Structure 1
């Protein structure tokens, strides 16, 4: 590998740059120097976007530099790339354009097209006043410099003298990589409370932050956003002593897998921690975050968690109240993980203060194959007030819990239920429901009218045309198979081509009805529901049948091959035994 040099070049190794074309691709300088057989100085770049790269830092059989991402490197001339600008330069370009630029903008009229396809000028009332106010940088309180090419703080004191009143600063997608530079920016903005550094390559080490004289101090910040920045949890731990006032910390998309052994307690004021779209797999690692005593919201969607566990009731009863994990946690987002067991749902019920949960796009809750309907989740997690972004009313909770109890009773009577239901007995006692409520035995106190379900039947099949919903009262013992026959008579949609869904007043999301053996009672319909009748077209049915037949034949062929292999092995063993016996008889 050749030694890099800075011959006649303004670029240095480690510097962040962007391409000079309109695409503005970002990258890091990895080499500055000559290239064999070429004249002048070349710049070796590792691009953030792999599609921009051409090789691994090797050209003509010579290795000029290393890259962290294979295929992300290329060698370019200096005029193909450009260095960044200072924060003040970006502020002036964004909020205080030159007179020539203002004249150019004024010459551009905004318009909309009329019904006759003619342009109609649009006048933005108050635009001049807004631009004039924004142009006064010393009064600016919110600044958004997204993809502005900022890579430095400029001369000491320059930021403070120009825009010292900024309270919210968005630096998403810039060229920052030095924590020293970030520290200088923050130190010159005494009123800064919200800082967004997403999509900056913040991979510099912070192991010695606590003892460094140039360490950034974020004592005034309340919100720090570091999404897709490449920051590690070790760096977050090193930042901890400077984040004493942070209430929100966003760390999405950084490939974080665990939380190491560092002191998590260094974030005493943290209330919201966003760790979505990382690579966290073990709940044991998540439990370490319970050391954050002020934490009320934890976002873990888009990770690789397979389970959630909390203290059993007996363990929680014996533990000191101040030592319970996640004692103040109110919001937990777990969408897009790998949760597949009901035990994880039951564990959520044991969190002392949990009120809001997101569970979408998990195997257990997948609408195509999961078994966890909304009413089941509500019933099994007693403290919830919001599920998957939708508030839970008092009526929906009551209906969900009654429906859940009736469902479990029906499953038990049919011998199908084998999972645990920690809240079942308490809910059954709460609503006074017993086994005989579904069987019509002597213990029931209800009349026949009480056992009828009021169904609003709505046909949404394409070939049925527009028809008003039909309201019918059916016994709770009516099976889905009988319901299909009933719907066929009403809407002329053949039973074997129906696809049924149901909704309730407080749960408007359609839920598929799949098993013909289920009854209205076992489905948990308490008093009323809406049944949607859709029709599967014949071609789709034939495709499904053909696919099922092909799968059956494939499995049959595999079984036949296994039988043939087993038979041939048996024959070989018999022949071997015969030869062995014959060999023993030879004198």
Structure 2
């Protein structure tokens, strides 16, 4: 091999490993150990031109593909890696690293030729009933082939161009091809260049200049250097940018955002280097995703983002924030109305209370726990009360508490919150908290909105309840319900709180000799003190599918209606 192989590669450029096809960035060319000196490229050739002693120092995109070091050789720092453990040395040989392809090449392979020559133009007009299969020389009948060609040749109708995984490294093409693309691809609104080998934002700017109508650019799984970003020509057309797993820091992301004056949505998912937010967000961004970034400090997020008057949506899914500190008053986040917390590490209900205070405009929340629930819960199973001050991690159990605690919510986990659901959730929340703190009423202040909701719905104050002895038997766990009817005397029955409303209907039906299938149960509004007739005011009809404790607590009244007389047929 001659020294010409050296000139096939350039420091800072990106390649694929010829055997594994793993993407990487070239950081060093030279011998090991390297000679003393600041240069990044060190090589010399003997009289025979041999370069057998030269090595390529590379940084893999995925640290798992590296050799566990960050550019060091026997304790000597040969080159630097942005991610720990992603470095490796590869012996220089012909073709050990391969380049990607140009965007023009990738585009023509997927969408057909950019320019239509005279021969192609004739083929659109001339009926063609056969086609050759590759270089085999085999010809098969293909009636209507001219229509297929015409369809793929109508580039003007393209709205989206997907070249993800094509390992694009430059725009490429001739000047004529670029002009033709610019003219024919005016309608393209989305360009996906995920998993590319671009190495500079100058190259990105060159590509954007061809797609004059572009509004969304996807550059996920990139490693584009931001070293010369100040020299890049900005784009005033781009509105949404995806930089997931792009190996950038928050500081670099803020610099990149400045290139696009009309950028309103920025997706920075899964960037390990975004572990701290050391700058304030660009004021124009309306939607920001930091999902999967290793951020752990809520106050730091607050300082960087709360001052934005335009930020409306924030995605903190899979972010390892484990607590939200209290704040006596709403501060910042004047426009934030949507928050995503999928697979969150937040687990204490007090964090939800603090969140409600900090985000007073929050109307849409998507939340799920990173901790899996220990027991399997079917979708149609009744919700059980939380056993502690922590989220259960089960959507069905946590939903009423979330609704009750965050007054401004209108959509939770994609489902609209109706006025009836909010009322039921708030009353359920008060009942469950009351049961938890009945022996320690001083804890009421630690449950957000508890006192306000108790007053709102006219429910009994926990201080008025008499703590009951905790006897560990089945009878002590039962609650007493007063069963009433407009024309019959009331009576009392005892049931387990976790039992189903179906079993409650059966108990009442058996007592009254009625048909349980046609029996209807209702909640009752609290009695009015100055009502001598003790008028029964219907609340909400009790539906099957939830437990008794969802609807009622100890000493509540239950109104029953309907239920035809049960007739026993004797043979």
Using structure 2 for the length normalisation, give the TM-score.
0.65
Q: Distance in 1 between matches of 2:320 and 2:555?
A: 32
The alignment status of 1:26 with 2:23, answered yes or no, reads yes
Contact 1:167-1:194 within 8 A present in 2 as well: yes
Residues 45-74 of structure 1 deviation map (CA, whole Å, 9 limit, x = unaligned): 333344544575999979794352436413
The alignment status of 1:238 with 2:255, answered yes or no, reads yes
The alignment status of 1:39 with 2:36, answered yes or no, reads no
**Which of 443, 459, 465 in structure 2 is aligned with 1:418?**
443
- TM-fit CA distance, 1:149: 1.6
Contact 1:331-1:357 within 8 A present in 2 as well: yes
**Which of 150, 171, 178 in structure 2 is aligned with 1:159?**
178
The alignment status of 1:352 with 2:370, answered yes or no, reads no
Name the structure 2 match of 1:172.
Answer: 194
Name the structure 1 match of 2:313.
Answer: 297
Contact 1:335-1:361 within 8 A present in 2 as well: yes
Higher helix share: 1
Contact 2:317-2:342 within 8 A present in 1 as well: yes
Name the structure 1 match of 2:414.
Answer: 389
Q: Distance in 1 between matches of 2:441 and 2:454?
A: 19
Residues 23-51 of structure 1 deviation map (CA, whole Å, 9 limit, x = unaligned): 52111123335679963865443333445
SS in 1 for 2:342: coil
Contact 1:393-1:506 within 8 A present in 2 as well: no
The alignment status of 1:334 with 2:334, answered yes or no, reads no
SS in 2 for 1:32: strand
Q: Distance in 2 between matches of 1:171 and 1:104?
A: 30
| Residues 387 and 352 of structure 1, relative CA distance in 2, 3 Å threshold | same
Residues 111-163 of structure 1 deviation map (CA, whole Å, 9 limit, x = unaligned): xxxxxxxxxxxxxx999857643344454331100111211122685434325
| Residues 243 and 291 of structure 1, relative CA distance in 2, 3 Å threshold | farther
Q: Distance in 1 between matches of 2:31 and 2:333?
A: 58
- TM-fit CA distance, 1:199: 0.2
Moved more, 53-62 or 11-20: 53-62
- TM-fit CA distance, 1:15: 1.2
SS in 1 for 2:258: helix
- TM-fit CA distance, 1:327: 1.7
| Residues 246 and 407 of structure 1, relative CA distance in 2, 3 Å threshold | same
Name the structure 2 match of 1:531.
Answer: none
The alignment status of 1:189 with 2:196, answered yes or no, reads no
Q: Distance in 1 between matches of 2:460 and 2:296?
A: 41
Name the structure 2 match of 1:10.
Answer: 8
| Residues 87 and 410 of structure 1, relative CA distance in 2, 3 Å threshold | same
**Which of 205, 214, 229 in structure 1 is aligned with 2:246?**
229
SS in 2 for 1:448: strand
- The RMSD of aligned alpha carbons is 4.5
SS in 1 for 2:27: strand
Q: Distance in 2 between matches of 1:64 and 1:134?
A: 52
SS in 2 for 1:359: strand
Contact 2:61-2:86 within 8 A present in 1 as well: no
Q: Distance in 2 between matches of 1:401 and 1:25?
A: 54
SS in 2 for 1:335: strand
Contact 1:378-1:384 within 8 A present in 2 as well: yes
Name the structure 2 match of 1:407.
Answer: 432
Where does structure 1 lack aligned partners over 5 or more consecutive residues?
A: 108-124, 317-323, 459-468, 476-503, 529-587
Contact 2:482-2:555 within 8 A present in 1 as well: no
SS in 1 for 2:59: strand
Name the structure 2 match of 1:433.
Answer: 459
Name the structure 1 match of 2:90.
Answer: 75
Contact 2:103-2:172 within 8 A present in 1 as well: yes
- TM-fit CA distance, 1:188: 2.6
Where does structure 2 lack aligned partners over 5 or more consecutive residues?
A: 34-49, 115-119, 121-130, 137-142, 376-386, 393-397, 468-480, 486-491, 509-540, 560-571
- TM-fit CA distance, 1:12: 1.0
